[in-house]
Amino acid sequence: MFRKLFLLLFLIALFLKPILAQENFERNINVQVFDKLSNPYIYPWIGGFNHIQVSEIDLNLDGINDLFTFDRAGNKISTFINQGIPSTIAYTFAPQYKDSFPELHDWVLLRDFNCDGKIDIFTYSSGGAAVYKNSSQTQLSFELVTNLIYSDFLPDDGLNNPINLYVSSTYFNLFYFRNLRGISQKFVGRKFWNL
């Protein structure tokens, strides 16, 4: 009896050991990496890009727009802080800001749709586009405004005909936003209903 109990406890301990002994890893992007000629790589820990879209946004809320990239291959967000050196292009890789963004996929354009000076998010949603408002106060944050933009495709018939403003997951470049609130009535002759 005791032998069976001991064997059972031994097997349970053997099973739990790899679970309880899981390592915690911490990302360190300060390790320098050199090429074969001993030249240091500037951004060795970014992971590479395949098909990126680039936008500006103030990540650290210092009043200077920083750099946001979205790699459509893998839906990967990368963030860079603008060092703000006059007449110099100088960015620091700052991956800690990517977790402030919601889960995004297919395409992402960062534009200020409500003209409050804070750059917002337009991104693909099923058959259209979703919008997140930049709600940052003391740190970067976003709030979902709509998961699908609707528009009136028959604006002159006196009726409300809201239907999703179709945007492809691939031909996103046809989708262009500029001063959206101010020109919404003129924008391709349609009216947005939920922005």
Sole window of 37-45, 116-124, 139-147, 148-156 interacting with Ca ion (rule: CB under 5 A) = 116-124
Q: Which of 55, 60, 141, 164 binds Ca ion (CB under 5 A)?
A: 60
Q: Which is nearer to Ca ion, 98 or 118 (CB)?
A: 118
Q: What stretches of the chain adopt beta strand conformation (E)? A: 52-57, 66-71, 76-82, 91-93, 108-111, 120-125, 128-134, 142-146, 150-152, 162-164, 191-192
> Under the criterion CB under 5 A, does residue 152 sit at the interface with Ca ion?
no
19-35 b/e (C-beta count within 10 Å ≥ 16 → b): eeeeeeeeeeeeeeeee
- The H-or-E segment that residue 137 falls in is none
> Under the criterion CB under 5 A, does residue 114 sit at the interface with Ca ion?
yes
Q: Which is nearer to Ca ion, 67 or 165 (CB)?
A: 67
> Under the criterion CB under 5 A, does residue 141 sit at the interface with Ca ion?
no
> Under the criterion CB under 5 A, does residue 161 sit at the interface with Ca ion?
no
Sole window of 16-24, 59-67, 121-129, 170-178 interacting with Ca ion (rule: CB under 5 A) = 59-67
Q: Which two tokens stand for residue 92?
A: 């620091």
Least separation in angstroms between CB 38 and Ca ion: 33
Q: Which two tokens stand for residue 74?
A: 């893998």
